[in-house]
Amino acid sequence: MSAIPVKGIIVAVCTVCIACVVDVSQAVCMHVFVLRDGQTVYGAMKKEKAGIRRTLLDMARDNGLGFNQIAAANPGLDPWVPPEDAEVMLPTIFVLPTNYPTSGIVVNLAEMRLYYFFNGEDGSARFATCPVGVGREGYATELGVYTIYTKAENPVWTVPPSVRAEDPAMPLKVGPGPDNPLGKYILRFSRLSYGIHGTNRPWGVGRRVSHGCIRLYAEDIAALYPMVPVGTLVRIIYEPVKVGWAVGRCWLQVFRDFENRIADPLSEALACIALCEEKTGPVYLDLQKIKRMLELKSGIPRPVARVQESKN
């Protein structure tokens, strides 16, 4: 286990490498961590120079992030032509979903991120996480609990009626290959024709672009596919406001509430911090920082409360 400074705060990190089974230059194949008691924040912030001929989308993929995360963390930067010397924030730090399971998959639509909880070969509890593309407006991925019903390599895409209605020239089926939007692997759900699959349009990861399915980068689905057995539970949730705890602090992470489900974001954040207090004990709040983060919606987790020291 190593300790990494994050804006003056130390976050304990346990990272497990997972091998890529496809050749994608520089790209990270999921982020994998060993779970620790009393900790729900993992990873660390990174910074990089934009460089020549590198878009924010390139940098996002190279670091296991979606477009939504890198764009929100770097407001004002042109995602396609960032200045060559621009310093780009890479939020490779993750707050676990509320009430995460001991096993199975959780997809947070508001965050556009997948978490897979599993046991390692040594029996240790772990999680893997990667960015995803989700259902677009009018085809929002439905919340709920599903199971992985079947798995397929080099799948055939049977074009849904909704897609053919938008483009009548589409064929009835598309076989394996570069034109197949399912990519090389798919984990099909038990209902609603949903699935977790690859994509031939990686720019859609971290965006609302699908007809309800969950899209992954090619390297992420290739890594996830052999790990997930048929029958695995999949929970689809919507949490634009997340709170976690690590090293005696509560951390807040805020994403855009694109479905306008949160009527009072401040009350939501304070309620989440109250749950955090059940784990950490009483805390001192930085209310102004909380309000700023709720306004910015940068997706960058930051500590907003610290545990009160005992006077005994």
Token pair of 302 as six digits: 């930051």
**Options 213, 250, 272, 276, the catalytic residue:** 213
Angstrom distance (rounded) from CA 197 to CA 194: 9
Backbone CA torsion sign across 45, 49, 51, 57: positive
Active site residue 197: yes
- Work out whether strand 208-210 and strand 134-135 pair parallel, antiparallel, or are unpaired: parallel
Side chain identity at residue 201, one-letter code: R
Angstrom distance (rounded) from CA 199 to CA 184: 8
**Options 29, 31, 130, 197, the catalytic residue:** 197
Q: What angle do CA 182, 157, 169 make, to 5 degrees?
A: 110
Q: Which of 256, 260, 290 is nearest to 273 (CA)?
A: 290
Burial state string for 92-101 with b = 16 or more CB within 10 A and e = fewer than 16: bbbbbbbeee
- Could you tell me how many helices (H) and strands (E) the chain has, helices first? 6, 23
Q: How crowded is residue 115: how many other Cβ atoms within 10 Å of its Cβ?
A: 22
Side chain identity at residue 231, one-letter code: G
Side chain identity at residue 138, one-letter code: G
Positions marked catalytic: 197, 213
